[in-house]
Amino acid sequence: MIRPATPEDVPAIVDLIRGLAEYEKALQEVRTTPEQLRESLFGPEPAVFCHVAQDPDGEIAGFAIWYVTYSTWLGRHGIHLEDLFVRPAARGKGYGRLLLTELARLCVERGYGRLEWQVLDWNTPAAEFYVSLGALPQQEWIPYRITGEALEALAAR
């Protein structure tokens, strides 16, 4: 079953975030606490959303964290998928496809023009999975990020 996350799901989602970070060889970079995630998802003005895949036993098998974007070229909103992760033991059961299907359904229902995300260049299994769904890799855009001391320095200018 795919459904919007609830506050009761936060501990499982944090555990999945850590599982994703471990898979991406970046566990040491995770700073998210259950309190932060609860506030982000369920605070007074959430700007990020989460859907979970729940297995028949009621366990959270996977999640998709996303937020609304806007395309000036399309003149429409879209969804950016920040993270998608399914527990290794639950892979191959269709949870990833179901999570993406739900986000695509939301896009269509709301009149959004895009569902987009990023994939690490070494994550061939994920890239192949996404292509099998009809997604196309975008080659012409290079992501940039500013964080930490550089972010603080820019803000102080």
Tens-digit pLDDT profile for residues 56-97: 999 999 999 999 999 999 999 999 999 999 999 999 999 999
How far apart (Å, rounded) are the C-alpha atoms in residues 74 and 135?
18
pLDDT for the residue numbered 144: 86
How far apart (Å, rounded) are the C-alpha atoms in residues 60 and 63?
8
Per the structure, the count of domains in the chain is 1
- Active-site residue (options: 67, 70, 130, 144): 130
Active site residue 130: yes
Q: How many CB atoms lie within 10 A of CB 127?
A: 15
Q: Which domain holds residue 118?
A: 2-156
pTM: 0.90
| Rg of the chain in Å (alpha carbons) | 16
CATH number of the domain bearing residue 13: 3.40.630.30
Which residues, 6 or more positions from 99, have their beta carbon under 8 angstroms from its beta carbon? 2, 51, 53, 62, 63, 64, 84, 86
